Each structure stands twice: as C-alpha cells, then as structure tokens.
Amino acid sequence: MTGKRIDAAKATLARFGVEPAVTPQTSKKPVGTVLAQAPEAGTTLTQRTPVTLVVAQAKEQSSTSTTTTTSTEATTTAPATTTAPSTTTAPTPAPRASSVPDVSNLTEAAAVQALNRAGIIASLAFIPGSDPLGTVEGQAKQAGTSVPYHTHVQINISSGPGDKPKEQVPNVIGQTLQQALSSINGAHLRLLYLKFPVTSRSQAGKVVQQSPLAGAQAPSNAQVVVYLGAFSG
C-alpha cells in the first residue's frame, strides 16, 4: 500500500477482507499518502486481520509557532518588520521518532507497557523457554534504537517450562473490550489491553489491533495484547 492514497489503499484492502488501522504522521508528502504499512507486503493474513497504515498528515499549523517567534523577537528587537521573513520560513517539524526501551527479562505486561509509553507497538512471538510463561526472552530491536513512531517491534515471549497445550488466538478486531475479553477467555487465554489513538469515531472503544494475530498459536493461559481505539480527533 506504500505510496498509494489512503482511499485507494482502503479500497484495495477491503477487497481482501482486511481492515486498516490508520496512524497519522506528519510528512512533507501529500496529505493522505500511505507512508508505511505493517505487516509488510506479502505477509499472509486471515480475513479481518488489521493492517496498520501510516498516513501523511499536514504539518502542524505554523500560526502558533509564528506567534511565539514574533512575540519573542518583539521583546528583543524594536522593529517588528525584522521578524516577518522568519515567520514565513518556519522549519518543518521532524517526523516523530521513538527510542526502543530495554524490555529483556521483563514480564510480558511490563514490556508491552514500556514499549507503549515509548510510542512503539509490541508484536508478540511465543517461543520455547525454561523461564516462567510470559517472560521476555529477547527483542528484535536493540535498546536505544531509534524507530518511527508506532513502529511494530517484535518481542519473544517464553512459553514456559513443560509442554503446555496450544490455543488458537481468536480474531477480536472490531469488538468492544467486553466482547474481546469474552472471546479471548473462551480460548483459554488472558487479555491485556492498551489504548491506541484513532481518528475515526467508529473505531473508538473497539479493538483496532491485536498481538498475536488471529489464527496464531499461543500457550494456554498466555496473554493476548489488544489495542483499544481512543478517539483523538
């Protein structure tokens, strides 16, 4: 979808039964252009699995920064006309970036929350391990790595000692928190939820992303992370 207009991208995804989760990002590219997507192109998904589209939005209006600049200059220089040229050439805000925190050896819940505070979306992968179920065994990006805001970063989670039964993760995209809780508990799994900013009122209060994805295998009693839409328009 990268490079397409958001309307065209949504239409393409809709033909395959895939729902987009739109994340706006300030960019010099035309408003509405898809800058990035997750999962990457070529990934096989089940129907109704969300695809995150990072979409260009207009840079912040310069009126606020212009007013600040003008008032600041006015206190130090008498002629107001000397500040006029600078107000028309305000620098473009740099794209927001996040620094990956160190989540190794944390519990899944603590790791997901730490990543969320840093503006990063956790992508969970359960792997065999002797540590207790839910212990972070590793992370795909080293601590301190700079990544775009709301990038997906994989963390490997211990399945725990012993041979635990494997459960299939249900699809809870579009469900309310209570519905998602019922679906996930019914699959012998536990729910961990975080809020996720959305620009559509129709997504508010609904699950817009989940990890692991629907259809994936997770050890019995493992936690599934869901991101609940919070309207930020």
Write out the two tokens for 57: 């939005």
> Residue 189: phi, psi to the nearest 5?
-125, 170
| Rounded CA separation 211/215 (Å) | 11
| Rounded CA separation 158/140 (Å) | 15
| 96 or 123: which leads in pLDDT | 123
Residue range 121-140: average pLDDT?
Answer: 95
State residue 82's pLDDT score.
39
| 70 or 153: which leads in pLDDT | 153
Q: Is the pLDDT of residue 118 over 50?
A: yes
State residue 52's pLDDT score.
73
In contact, 232 and 204? CB cutoff 8 Å? no
- pLDDT tens digits, one per residue of 96-105: 899 999 999 9
Average pLDDT, the chain: 81
State residue 63's pLDDT score.
35
Q: Which CATH class is domain 165-233?
A: alpha beta
| Rounded CA separation 153/20 (Å) | 19
Q: Is the pLDDT of residue 142 over 90?
A: yes
Q: What band does 29 get if pLDDT is binned at 50, 70 and 90?
A: confident
**Architecture of 6-57 per CATH?**
2-Layer Sandwich (3.30)
Q: Which fold has domain 97-163?
A: Trypsin Inhibitor V; Chain A (3.30.10)
State residue 17's pLDDT score.
74
| Rounded CA separation 212/125 (Å) | 7
Collapsing DSSP to helix, strand or coil, 207 comes out as strand
- pLDDT tens digits, one per residue of 183-226: 999 999 999 999 999 999 999 999 999 999 999 999 999 999 99
Q: Is the pLDDT of residue 88 over 70?
A: no
Close Cβ partners of 140 (under 8 Å, ≥ 6 residues apart) = 123, 153, 154, 155
Q: Which residue shows structure tokens 């503006």? A: 119
Residue ranges, comma separated, of all CATH 3.30.10.20 domains in the chain are 6-57, 97-163, 165-233
Q: Is the pLDDT of residue 59 over 70?
A: no
